Amino acid sequence: MVLCAVIDHPTTTPGNGSVTAFVLVGPPASGKTTVRSLFEDHGAVGRDLAPLRDTPGGPLDDNAGVAIAHTIAEARSSDTPVACFEGAISETEIERVRELATTTLVVRIRVPDTTARLTRYVDRELAYSAGEAVPVDRRAAVRMYAQARAETERPYPTHAVSLVNGTETSVTALFSRVGQLLEALTSASVSETPPSSTDTTPGQSELPELSALVETAELD
């Protein structure tokens, strides 16, 4: 996974009681959960919005407001005043975060290879034992569901930073890039100890210097 970032959002240093919120958006199996977990490894408070929907792609339920507010409050009282939300699918949902956080940055996780993304989705959703054959029609049905879900959720909210999920990279390299993004946008110190992993594949490049360019690539 190679992450390339461009930004059109002003950097803001949190002050007393302030919280910076990162909201990860993108289609199913694009890597949002992985990126959120790495924000959490750096000390951020994470929240997945998916469980707050009665149906995939549907609106947030009545408990969402309380859950979002609780996450922001938890981040405010932590050593790292950063909250990372996964899975917003509308501008309205972004606004619910923006109303409570001091600074909100929307991060789009993009996967140029749609086929690879759908394959990951199917593998993730189908629960089967190693070596167990999965009926072709079952895999096809899950794949079609993933495509339908992506169509239902788009267009995803307007983003300021685009992280491109291209080729494979190590967890250590990805952890470092998330840390660079945190340091660029907040005053919070970031962890220098990467999560435990047996993946030692070297990263192909470091996160490029953030610029004031507007990302114009078409959405998936």
State the pLDDT confidence band at 219, using cuts at 50, 70 and 90: very low
> Is residue 50 packed enough to be buried (19+ CB in 10 Å), middle (13-18) or exposed (0-12)?
middle
Summarised one tens digit per residue, pLDDT across range 11-66 is 334 445 899 999 999 888 788 888 899 999 999 999 999 999 988 778 999 999 99
Asked if residue 158 has pLDDT above 80, the reply is yes
CA 62 remoteness from chain centre = 23
Please give the full DSSP string across 154-213, using - where no structure is assigned: PSPPP-SEEEE--S---HHHHHHHHHHHHHHH-S-----SPPP-S--PPPS-PPPPP-SP
Rg (CA), the chain: 17
The pTM (predicted TM-score) of the whole model is 0.71
Find the length of the chain: 220
- Distance CA(85)–CA(97), nearest Å, equals 9
Among positive and negative, which fits the CA dihedral 42, 35, 198, 206?
negative
Predicted pLDDT at 210: 34
Predicted pLDDT at 134: 63
Summarised one tens digit per residue, pLDDT across range 99-146 is 999 999 999 887 766 676 667 667 766 765 555 666 677 677 776 766
Asked if residue 96 has pLDDT above 60, the reply is yes
How many other C-beta atoms can be found within 10 angstroms of the C-beta atom of residue 79?
8
